[in-house]
Structure 1
């Protein structure tokens, strides 16, 4: 049985421009994300710098535009100085966040060299957990000042003659969380973040700064934390961060499929909080949002940091993703686009091995997980302006989020090419959906791709890397301004429309 839904695509109904920075990723010194993930000297496909070229190629194919580094929880006990200079002189350290042994053979300059090869913008996180204003200023001077000072000349002596010119900086990470090294109250963090931001803006007023928001929407101080932090930092920061992970392990599939509804509620709640602070301070400034950690994560399978043994590059939360996970990731990307007027940065966590779209084996292959595909196709085709799309459709009851729309959608319009692209998810587990689309004049369908499978538990692996891939959709038709297609149950789809050729 098929349900029905309708939506209208109109380039006049614009939300905001597609911000390239929302297609960000995250590389943290955690598990095997760095070591045997992006960096593995001695691998058959490693380049002269030790970077895995297979992972570099997949990163480019994924369409990543920005990468946040070096954490995450890792950054709150990190000394950036340990990761620069001759490798043989770098100290080994106990890494407290993930109870790992960190040899520091990959650090700031290696990351910048890797980012240049991958073609991504670096987003650096500062340690405001166990360190403070002075150390932050020293790192920024080392990274960004051209030369003629002790730290900038030290960078040049380390082989990086030109400044890295990092424009986007996180003022710490998840410092509301008691698991964080240097956990703080909102008042303590707000004052430190304000002092750090003020100093960094003195160094370079053009830097973009991200204040820590809540670690997740379930924190008891969610909303109140952001309000207090922004009251201290409002005129000095540009973004406030949001983090969210969605866990399918409890078996509540309907709620899991509706994760995008929760993400949208979180975005709108923090945007409203920021606007309230701005109004209270009588400021004309608009704080934007940096959703710099998001993904599907089987968190209930992880016994916590205290369960870990001290070791180097452990196999840590290397989740294998199935079809349903990929559909949810596609729906979260739709949510980020639907809120393009407020979300300016977003980072899927993480890039390689650790809850990642790319998996690798030491000395062996790299492959695309199921969640790779909706990200890559969205990053490739979302261009121009995001359009407001509100489907008329049935609702699905969920235990966690109440009633959620069965159809979740957004669209983009590229004025330069005239192309209009629809991104749409059918959350219904039982029924296909007959979708009717009202189009502007003069468009024709040029591509229909869907990600689904008769076996929703199907996943990719080293032995079967292409078990789940996007496939051409069937049944797309058009008559005049009306297009129609059938969306399979639990599916993510992309439909591209282009202007008719002159003879048409």
Structure 2
């Protein structure tokens, strides 16, 4: 049995929990939009074609902001194709995913969906094939009250489609997507992108100076330009932008589950590296404003060399199709524990990572799955996100963790128990999130509260291997409730110290009633 001791001190905090940390992502890719959030004629769809069964799960999951419409898709997308009467919208080919885009669902429809889902819109603009003029036009279309060409066109299109005519009031904008990547339509050097992003940002803020802008950072820590890309881009854009983006996807390689379970270590190092680069540019440029991080794509994604027929880089073999099945990964108990630990990493860095978007929301590497004409259900990875979004409130606590180790090939010996916590003084609730990365050993955890007094355990839940299952157990169409949260049994408070026993390979959440000691 692994031993772990955690100390939480009332006076050692990181920052207020940034609510945008619990974001998601809807891209025109695979079945995320079509038969995901939108499916006219489905028994659960409303008159607008919005699937109410999916919306119910989205609201339960609790994302606060959703990035749209891409992703790789946006670098070849004309936003004007997705507005106006649906029957007048052009059908286009999408080179990013080699699919046919009908444009039946566009900006107005997404804004309507976002209101139903109770999320903030994070809109991405095309800086792959387009530029300054299209960017400022889209901001005018979305946010200007009226009396100009683009704002009046929004009002006209809203009337024609039965959707919102008032300004959308979109505050968050992404200045393109992954333009450091050679796979991206309109791939650019850091200098080329930095200058374009700077001028686009200036023009967009001339239309609406209240918007917040995200510059494109590296597509992954493994990119050969990582570090130098951020430095160059921010050297151009530091005064114009509010955030720089990060993207990271993780998967198990060659059966090395131990290293996979410790990928939060990689995320921690990635974030720390970007923070260092931001601060170096800030110091060198003598800037007074603070640029933070939007980790606007992250998840577990089994790319497997992109050699499966459902993989996006091979869909061309099947010809041009509408909304094909693409990277619809099935997530296991193991994956859910990793997702939980990645959320821990993001929360621990909540003073600088103030936006994060799990990619994607439905069907495409998603916590929610749905079938055309059929049901929608929660994947195993749904639960850590849903619980952290619901319970992580107030102050992020700075934890001291002394844990037994678990060996990994990639990272050496790492803490078997990974933890983070938040404290909301107004409600008197402390939320503690725990991952046991060990696949063989349970963990005995003691939590010493300093400056705080716990009066009781309000709830204690655990996600682990189900009875009769194994670490690959998952929720699928014919068995949608195989993996879920169960009551964590061995929990108690003795002499002011919380004692918890965690099963091997598990993610847990506890909510305590506490007050100042």
**Band the TM-score falls in, shorter-chain normalisation:** over 0.9
The equivalent of 1:399 in structure 2 is 409
SS at 2:500 equivalent: strand
Does 2:156 correspond to 1:157? yes
Q: TM-score, normalised by structure 1?
A: 0.98
2:515 and 2:201 map into 1 onto residues whose CA distance is: 51
Does 2:208 correspond to 1:198? no
The equivalent of 2:505 in structure 1 is 490
The equivalent of 2:105 in structure 1 is 106
Does 2:366 correspond to 1:359? no
2:430 and 2:76 map into 1 onto residues whose CA distance is: 46
The equivalent of 2:180 in structure 1 is 176
Q: CA deviation at 1:249?
A: 4.4
Superimposed CA distance per residue, residues 305-346 of structure 1 (whole angstroms, 9 cap, x where no aligned partner): 442131110000000000000000010111111001100100
Give the ranges of 4+ consecutive aligned residues of structure 1 lying more than 6 Å apart after TM superposition.
none
Could you tell me which of 460, 464, 468 is aligned with 1:452? Answer: 464
Could you tell me which of 332, 343, 351 is aligned with 2:353? Answer: 343
The equivalent of 1:307 in structure 2 is 314
1:40 and 1:249 map into 2 onto residues whose CA distance is: 36
Superimposed CA distance per residue, residues 411-438 of structure 1 (whole angstroms, 9 cap, x where no aligned partner): 0000101111110111111111110111
SS at 2:9 equivalent: coil
Residue correspondence of structure 1 range 100-139 to structure 2 within 5 A:
100-139=99-138
Does 2:269 correspond to 1:257? no
Q: CA deviation at 1:131?
A: 0.3
Q: Is the 8 A contact 1:426 1:492 kept in 2?
A: yes
Superimposed CA distance per residue, residues 280-316 of structure 1 (whole angstroms, 9 cap, x where no aligned partner): 0011222100000000000116335442131110000
1:448 and 1:15 map into 2 onto residues whose CA distance is: 24
2:514 and 2:292 map into 1 onto residues whose CA distance is: 34
Unaligned runs of at least 5 residues, structure 1: none
SS at 2:266 equivalent: helix
The equivalent of 1:5 in structure 2 is 4
**Cα root mean square deviation, aligned:** 1.4
The equivalent of 1:435 in structure 2 is 445
Q: Relative to structure 2, which stretch is displaced further, 162-171 or 243-252?
A: 243-252
Residue correspondence of structure 1 range 473-488 to structure 2 within 5 A:
473-488=488-503
The equivalent of 2:427 in structure 1 is 417
Q: Is the 8 A contact 2:312 2:327 kept in 1?
A: no
Could you tell me which of 484, 499, 502 is aligned with 2:514? Answer: 499
SS at 2:402 equivalent: coil
The equivalent of 1:384 in structure 2 is 394
The equivalent of 2:193 in structure 1 is 189
Q: Is the 8 A contact 2:253 2:260 kept in 1?
A: no
1:249 and 1:373 map into 2 onto residues whose CA distance is: 24
Does 2:483 correspond to 1:468? yes
The equivalent of 1:241 in structure 2 is 245
SS at 1:346 equivalent: strand
The equivalent of 2:86 in structure 1 is 87
SS at 1:60 equivalent: helix
Does 2:239 correspond to 1:227? no
Q: CA deviation at 1:446?
A: 1.7
SS at 1:9 equivalent: strand
Q: CA deviation at 1:500?
A: 7.4
Superimposed CA distance per residue, residues 8-53 of structure 1 (whole angstroms, 9 cap, x where no aligned partner): 1222110001111011000000000000000000000100110000
SS at 2:323 equivalent: coil
Q: CA deviation at 1:129?
A: 0.3
SS at 2:438 equivalent: coil
Superimposed CA distance per residue, residues 228-287 of structure 1 (whole angstroms, 9 cap, x where no aligned partner): 000000011000000000012431111100111111110110001000000000112221
Q: Is the 8 A contact 2:191 2:233 kept in 1?
A: yes
Count of matched residue positions in the alignment of Structure 1 and Structure 2: 501
